[in-house]
């Protein structure tokens, strides 16, 4: 199947600048394409996954992707999709963010695949050496104010105000496309639908530069992916705890797995088409499974497995599944200390110095029961579980067998309240 037909079947194309021309261009050439990622944090989040995976799809179709890290544009800030100015980070912070993001991209794209190996570039390399005179004479003269004001990213900000700094972002991103076109024969830029104005501005700059040199008009193209929406109206990629990051230190593989497995029934097949490389035949089978046995959540599990494995690897996937099963079954003693840290990251945590403490005293000291009297009632009523096992012994003293790797004990009060005891 042609790459554009597959993308269309997966509903991954929002706009193209010239669908027929791009199709012919892809048929005739190993096309170099790029997508930019500004380092606004020390990690990408799942909102970045769609364009990254678009690069991966083009690579699998035989084309050459460039992951462009915005070490220069990240110093300025993209006004697209925002109602207020960004807080500008220092050069040192942006550099650190850029290095972290480059490492993440290397884990998602194939940087060792011969002719169409992915490469990473950083626009700080060329933007930081450009003087203000060069910028105004060589770039600024090709952009009329009226042209820039008509772009959605700028027009939507006029009412609340936009600084010249962010107003100039469109020109800086256009320089990226120009530079990659001239130095690496990059002829296609992809991005989110909010990047349409920036992409077309870059194409216009390339064409004006070609006209200036009296050369033939360049064959350059733009393609955008749709904005991801959720059926329940909430923002994709956000939870009560914040963004879902690709860095396992910020969002654990277990949390990452849980995000995907908890996808709304109305969204799960759409997300499988968007984010996975599962065949259309298997997607149809999963659609049938969802209709026939929605309670089994088979597509949700498949989505969670595919995404966790893609981002964090097979070992992390198996660990996430193990934690999930242990929490469902109550067999918490089967988990090791690292898995306990992941699975109970957000539950109340209490440090206890005395490893041989009595259960009644532990419940009071940890704030699980309000008094010793209440603690004894909770125990005798069967409301207290140690590592998933009910304990009704009022005189029980905690021992080494109650501690997982001599570090943790999980106390459950009633059906749902868990407490992590650290020793």
Instruction: From residue 394, give the alpha-carbon distance in Å to each of 212, 231, 280, 382.
Output: 88, 49, 58, 11
Q: What is the pLDDT of residue 374?
A: 96
Q: pLDDT confidence of 276, banded at 50, 70, 90? A: very high
- Does pLDDT of 387 surpass 90? yes
Angle separating helix axes 314-329 and 253-261, nearest 10 degrees: 70
How far apart, in whole angstroms, are the C-alpha atoms of residue 362 and residue 353? 11
Q: HEC profile for the chain?
A: CCHHHHHHHCCCCCEECCHHHHHHHHHHCCCEEEEEECCCCCCCEHHHHHHHHHHHHHHHCCCEEEEEECCCHHHCCCCCCCCCCCCCCCHHHHHHHHHHHHHHHHHHCCCCCHHHCCEEEECHHHHCCCCHHHHHHHHHHHCCHHHHHCCHHHHCCCCCCCCHHHHCHHHHHHHHHHHHHHHHCEEEEEEEHHHHHHHHHHHHHHHHHHHHCCCCCCCCEEEEECCCECCCCCECCEECCEECECCCCCCCHHHHHHHHHCCCHHHHHHHHHHHCCCCHHHHHHHHHHHHHCHHHCHHHHHHHHHHHHHHHCHHHHHHHHHHHHHHHHCCHHHCCHHHHHHHCCCCCEEECCCCCCEHHHHHHHCCCCCCHHHHHHHHHCCCEEECCEECCCCCCECCHHHCECCCEEEEEECCCEEEEEEC
How far apart, in whole angstroms, are the C-alpha atoms of residue 306 and residue 286? 14
Q: What is the mean pLDDT of the chain?
A: 92
Q: What is the pLDDT of residue 241?
A: 67
The Cβ of residue 370 has, within 10 Å, a number of other Cβ atoms equal to 11
Q: What is the pLDDT of residue 151?
A: 80
Q: What is the pLDDT of residue 146?
A: 87
Q: What is the pLDDT of residue 416?
A: 83
What's this model's pTM, rounded to 2 decimal places?
A: 0.88
The mean per-residue pLDDT over the stretch 2-15 comes to: 97
- Does pLDDT of 240 surpass 70? no
223 strand-pairing partners: 16, 190
Residue 302 or 88, more confident: 302
- Does pLDDT of 80 surpass 90? no
User: pLDDT tens digits, residue range 284-296?
Assistant: 999 999 999 999 9
The mean per-residue pLDDT over the stretch 306-318 comes to: 97
User: pLDDT tens digits, residue range 329-338?
Assistant: 888 989 999 9
The mean per-residue pLDDT over the stretch 356-370 comes to: 94
Most confident of 160-164, 207-211, 395-399: 395-399
Q: pLDDT confidence of 55, banded at 50, 70, 90? A: very high
Q: pLDDT confidence of 212, banded at 50, 70, 90? A: confident
Q: What is the pLDDT of residue 85?
A: 76
User: pLDDT tens digits, residue range 337-361?
Assistant: 999 999 998 889 999 988 889 999 9
Q: pLDDT confidence of 210, banded at 50, 70, 90? A: confident
- Side-chain-side CA neighbours of 303 within 13 Å: the count stands at 26
């Amino acid at each position: 199947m042609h790459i554009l037909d597959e993308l269309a079947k997966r509903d991954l194309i929002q706009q193209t600048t010239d669908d027929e021309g791009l199709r012919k261009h892809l048929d005739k050439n190993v096309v170099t394409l790029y997508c930019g990622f500004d380092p606004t944090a020390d990690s990408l989040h799942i909102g970045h996954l769609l364009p990254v995976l678009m690069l991966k799809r083009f690579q699998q179709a035989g084309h050459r992707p460039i992951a462009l890290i915005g070490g220069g544009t990240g110093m300025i800030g993209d006004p697209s999709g925002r109602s207020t100015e960004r807080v500008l980070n220092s050069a040192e912070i942006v550099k650190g963010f850029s290095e972290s993001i480059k490492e993440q991209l290397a884990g998602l794209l194939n940087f060792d695949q011969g002719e169409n190996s992915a490469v990473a570039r950083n626009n700080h390399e060329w933007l930081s050496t450009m003087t203000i005179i060069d910028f105004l004479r060589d770039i600024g003269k090709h952009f009329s104010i009226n042209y820039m004001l008509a772009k959605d990213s700028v027009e939507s900000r006029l009412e609340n105000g936009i600084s010249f700094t962010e107003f100039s972002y469109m020109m800086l991103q256009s320089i990226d496309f120009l530079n990659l076109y001239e130095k690496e024969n990059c002829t296609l830029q992809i991005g989110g639908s909010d990047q349409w104005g920036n992409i077309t501005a870059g194409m216009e700059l390339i064409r004006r530069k070609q006209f200036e040199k009296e050369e033939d008009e360049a064959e350059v193209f733009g393609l955008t992916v749709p904005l991801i929406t959720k059926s329940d109206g909430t923002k994709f990629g956000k939870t009560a705890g914040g963004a879902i990051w690709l860095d396992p230190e910020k969002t654990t593989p277990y949390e990452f797995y849980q995000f995907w497995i908890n996808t709304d029934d109305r969204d799960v097949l759409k997300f499988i088409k968007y984010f996975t490389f599962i065949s259309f035949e298997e997607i149809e089978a999963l659609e049938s499974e969802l209709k026939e046995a929605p309670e089994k959540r088979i597509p949700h599990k498949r989505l969670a497995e595919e995404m966790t494995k893609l981002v964090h690897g097979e070992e992390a996937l198996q660990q996430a599944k193990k934690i999930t099963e242990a929490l469902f079954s109550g067999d918490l003693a089967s988990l090791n200390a690292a898995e306990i840290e992941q699975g109970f990251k957000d539950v109340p945590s209490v440090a206890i110095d005395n490893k041989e403490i009595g259960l009644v005293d532990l419940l009071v000291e940890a704030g699980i029961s309000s008094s010793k009297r209440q603690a004894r009632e909770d125990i005798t009523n069967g409301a207290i579980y140690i590592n998933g096992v009910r304990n009704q012994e009022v005189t029980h003293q905690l021992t080494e067998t109650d501690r997982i790797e001599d570090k943790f004990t999980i106390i459950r009060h009633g059906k749902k309240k868990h407490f992590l005891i650290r020793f």
